[in-house]
Structure 1
Amino acid sequence: MISTISKPVTRLARPLSTLLTSSPVQVRRQLTINAAAASVVAAQRLSPYRSQVRFYADYVVKVPHMADSISEGSLKQWNKKVGDFVALDEEVASIETDKVDVAVNSPKSGTIVELYAKEEDTVAVGADLFKLELGDSPSGGAGPAKEEKKAEKKAEPKDEPKKEEPKKEEPKKEEKKPEPKKEAPAAPKPAPAASKSSPEPSSAPVAFSREERTVKMNRMRQTIAKRLKQSQENAASLTTFNEVDMSNLMKLRANYKDAVLKKHNVKLGFMSAFVKASCYALKELPAVNARIEGDNIVYNDYVDVSVAVATPKGLVTPVIRNAESLSFVEVEKSIAQYGAKARDGQLAIEDLSGGTFTISNGGVFGSMMGTPIINMPQSAILGMHAIKERPVAVDGKVEIRPMMYIALTYDHRIIDGREATTFLVKVKEIIEDPVRLLLDV
């Protein structure tokens, strides 16, 4: 903002007659002001230009709104410090919430003049986060750096001739080769070898030492702990099991995985089949897709499947929206996208919100059997496990088949045992004979 001084400054001066009643200190101060005002007036009269003063406004950036259910978070990391210039939409900090990490981008361009929070502090939505002095990127900052690089480049060729001079003297000093021999034993190469070997013995006993380490739980792990405990306390959880012959689904995958990869650029896995089989079973058993709200039961006419994904910070459940209307390939694409986001830590809160039914695949880690915990406020969760070859009876004969145990944990307050068992049977029938999905039988 530019403000132009157009009014005369003589009004700052006071008449000498008024100084008779003033103290000596006030007189000296006012005489100084009068002299300065007179010099400014003279400069204004002599110069045809107006004097200009530039003011840069300060802008306080607040903690952004993250989601309706999130009111605060922990300041995970500052990517900038005081004095750094930030451009529009450049990431300045990251905030760790109950579900995901939220990046805080600068809404304007400017220089950071103050930070209002430290790392690991709890910051509330709407609170002051940092202050910007608005303005363009400082042009002088890049100049010296470039000049220094040029100076370094110019200095390099100067050093080269100095190195060449001793090379000319080398033949004369061929006899004096003890000096490089002295450098060989003093070389730092053996030292790093010793340093590398030193941590190994110290790290080996750590696994069986009696030391203790206290690490604060991150916000995501704290939320997971609260919700799982809430699920155990509020839901009347019960788990029922069944086993599935994976032979036909494995043949289907083996026959078409290359064609799917070539045409759709996505790998064909088993999760899409279980998602579609669950949608088919939920259509016939709507109570498994419902939830309790107070004294009411809310039935969903759609299926938003939460797929459990393991991350370094904990288990997250991104949601595949309207899975009942998606094809196998579309489900696989959604799972692949969420998996990539989870690995890169880029899952948004919108990706995790909602969900009417959850599928957890512990088989990828080798789990043979387990009882998953309900993801509240949902009423059921399907657990997949590892595929193992086992002897089973087929048409009166014992055959070796690839078998998988599946488990359904459900809230007995809303789902009866008959409905839970029927749900698993429906899933079993479709997985063992995928053609049923095409014929809707």
Structure 2
Amino acid sequence: MLSKRIIAIAQGRALLPRNRAGAVALSRGWSVASTSARVAQFHSSKLLQAETIKVPQMAESISEGTLKTWHKQPGDPVEADEEVATIETDKIDVSVNAPSAGTITELLAGEEDTVAVGQDLFRFEPGEAGAAAAPKEGVPETKEPKPEKEAEAKIEPKEQPVEKAPPPPPPPAREGGEAKKEIKEAPKAAPPSKPKEAAKEIEVAPPRVAGARTETHVKMSRMRLRIAERLKESQNAAASLTTFNEIDMSSLIDFRKKYKEEVLKTQGVKLGFMSPFAKACCLALKEIPGANASIEGDSIVYRDYVDLSVAVATPKGLVTPVVRNADSMNFVEIEKEIAALGRKARDGKLTLEDMAGGTFTISNGGVFGSLYGTPIINVPQAAVLGMHTIKERAVVVNGQIVIRPIMVVALTYDHRLLDGREAVTFLVKIRDYLEDPRRMLLV
């Protein structure tokens, strides 16, 4: 018998037991072996595929941040480059994205924890989204031949939809109409679960009492702490002084009114007041280079280019993205760049490169209704221009009292770099350019 089995194996023929019981036992043995191999293969591949994602490098000057939000939880599928977490730093919010499609398996830090660059952040299993729950490709699934149970499984799904709640007891014959009415209204008696939960939350929330003296303590964000530090640094370091002037905006308003529709139609951008102010500042900075300088140690650094910082208010605080080489741009190019930076600031998408550097700052408090103000210098810059709201006022022009739209502008400057004469001359040049925009074509 042994020799026959050896010969059969050599010839590639399978020898199966002749009785049915032996065949079933042998097939079950193969099934168990196949299942064990499949489970072992699944676990080994899962261990090999698991990855640990670390806190990414954010910038040379940033070594840690606060884990602000987890956008995914263990078991959640993710797509490639989908945001998993947000880390708040003192300058920007950094997004941590999934390197590829897969499933989050474990979170290694909690919200509001301080995390350092290179620290383990979460574990991740690569693969198609939701693949962890699906059978692996290439691994055959074998099932034990259980005819009775398979038959039950096939019948059961068909029977489930047929199951119905027991019918209500038949109503008395004399009150048939009323009974029917009750049956129709029965479903309305059970309110949905969501309104119950909402009502419960409303009941739990303590009512506000008129005249109550309540206090709310909110932890300062890293960005707000950094802003506070920078503003105090500016007050301590710079010898700040502010000078004011008034600008008759009549010509600039007429200019904008005449061309804004054409620019919007042809260039796809709104023509505002920021581009003329930016251009006027660039021209004035060329004539007064000290306003475009900074102090480094015991030296003054003068620049022949203008990287214009534009203050933008966001829900998290004031940020100053930079328009690079603004001196080489025209009105439309400046408007496009400012609009793009403004969108990125509002969406929280600004990068460190967007805010690094800057040689001069413009801050427009006029959009919020500010009439007067003394802006704070964005150190190590030498000066900052503050724009304010436009108000119609009675002014004297050629001996006549007329109504003109007037904007008050303020220049705060570092007296260590600029003398009063230079600072006032700088602001007067800006005023002259804006009161007659055609002057900017002559420079």
Note closer, same or farther for the CA distance 1:138–1:312 as it changes in structure 2 (3 Å cut). Answer: closer
Correspondence list, 1:205-354, <5 A: 205=210, 208-354=211-357
Correspondence list, 1:34-73, <5 A: 53=41, 54-55=44-45, 56-57=47-48, 58-73=50-65
| In the alignment, structure 1 residue 410 sits paired with structure 2 residue 402 | no
Give the distance between the partners of 1:376 and 1:245, measured in 2 at CA: 30
Q: Which runs of 5+ in 2 are unaligned?
A: 1-29, 136-157, 169-174
Give the distance between the partners of 2:345 and 2:431, measured in 1 at CA: 30
Note closer, same or farther for the CA distance 1:401–1:198 as it changes in structure 2 (3 Å cut). Answer: farther
Number of the residue aligned with 1:105 = 97
Give the distance between the partners of 1:371 and 1:127, measured in 2 at CA: 43
Local SS of the residue matching 2:207: helix
**For residue 76 of structure 2, what is the amino acid of its counterpart?**
D
**For residue 403 of structure 2, what is the amino acid of its counterpart?**
I
Number of the residue aligned with 2:114 = 122
Q: 1:379-423 deviations in whole A, cap 9, x for unaligned?
A: 110000010000001001110000000000011111111111011
**For residue 404 of structure 1, what is the amino acid of its counterpart?**
M
Number of the residue aligned with 1:78 = 70
**For residue 105 of structure 2, what is the amino acid of its counterpart?**
V
Give the distance between the partners of 1:113 and 1:354, measured in 2 at CA: 40
Greater mean alpha carbon deviation, residues 216-225 or residues 177-186: 177-186
**For residue 77 of structure 1, what is the amino acid of its counterpart?**
T
Greater mean alpha carbon deviation, residues 191-200 or residues 88-97: 191-200
- Whether the aligned pair in 1 keeps the contact of 2:103 and 2:130 (CA below 8 Å) is no
- Kindly state the Cα deviation for residue 110 of structure 1 after the two structures are TM-superposed: 4.1
Local SS of the residue matching 1:202: coil
What RMSD over aligned residues (CA atoms) do the two structures have, in Å? 3.6
Correspondence list, 1:329-408, <5 A: 329-408=332-411
Number of the residue aligned with 1:436 = 439
Note closer, same or farther for the CA distance 1:427–1:157 as it changes in structure 2 (3 Å cut). Answer: farther
**For residue 69 of structure 1, what is the amino acid of its counterpart?**
S
Number of the residue aligned with 1:131 = 123
**For residue 328 of structure 2, what is the amino acid of its counterpart?**
S
Local SS of the residue matching 2:431: helix
Note closer, same or farther for the CA distance 1:155–1:355 as it changes in structure 2 (3 Å cut). Answer: farther
Give the distance between the partners of 2:375 and 2:112, measured in 1 at CA: 32
Give the distance between the partners of 2:237 and 2:314, measured in 1 at CA: 27
Give the distance between the partners of 2:384 and 2:439, measured in 1 at CA: 23
Give the distance between the partners of 2:106 and 2:186, measured in 1 at CA: 54
Number of the residue aligned with 2:207 = 202
Q: 1:225-260 deviations in whole A, cap 9, x for unaligned?
A: 000000001110000000000000000011111111
- Whether the aligned pair in 1 keeps the contact of 2:276 and 2:434 (CA below 8 Å) is yes
Note closer, same or farther for the CA distance 1:271–1:137 as it changes in structure 2 (3 Å cut). Answer: closer
Give the distance between the partners of 1:107 and 1:63, measured in 2 at CA: 13
Local SS of the residue matching 1:364: helix
Give the distance between the partners of 2:328 and 2:160, measured in 1 at CA: 66
Q: 1:159-191 deviations in whole A, cap 9, x for unaligned?
A: 9x99xx9xxxxxx95444763679889979999
**For residue 286 of structure 1, what is the amino acid of its counterpart?**
P
- Kindly state the Cα deviation for residue 424 of structure 1 after the two structures are TM-superposed: 0.5
Give the distance between the partners of 2:332 and 2:160, measured in 1 at CA: 58
Give the distance between the partners of 1:77 and 1:155, measured in 2 at CA: 46
Note closer, same or farther for the CA distance 1:200–1:129 as it changes in structure 2 (3 Å cut). Answer: closer
Greater mean alpha carbon deviation, residues 120-129 or residues 191-200: 191-200
Local SS of the residue matching 1:243: strand
Note closer, same or farther for the CA distance 1:184–1:135 as it changes in structure 2 (3 Å cut). Answer: closer
Percent identity between matched residues is 60
Greater mean alpha carbon deviation, residues 172-181 or residues 209-218: 172-181
Count of aligned pairs: 376
**For residue 117 of structure 2, what is the amino acid of its counterpart?**
V
Q: Which runs of 5+ in 1 are unaligned?
A: 1-42, 144-153, 166-171
Give the distance between the partners of 2:352 and 2:98, measured in 1 at CA: 20
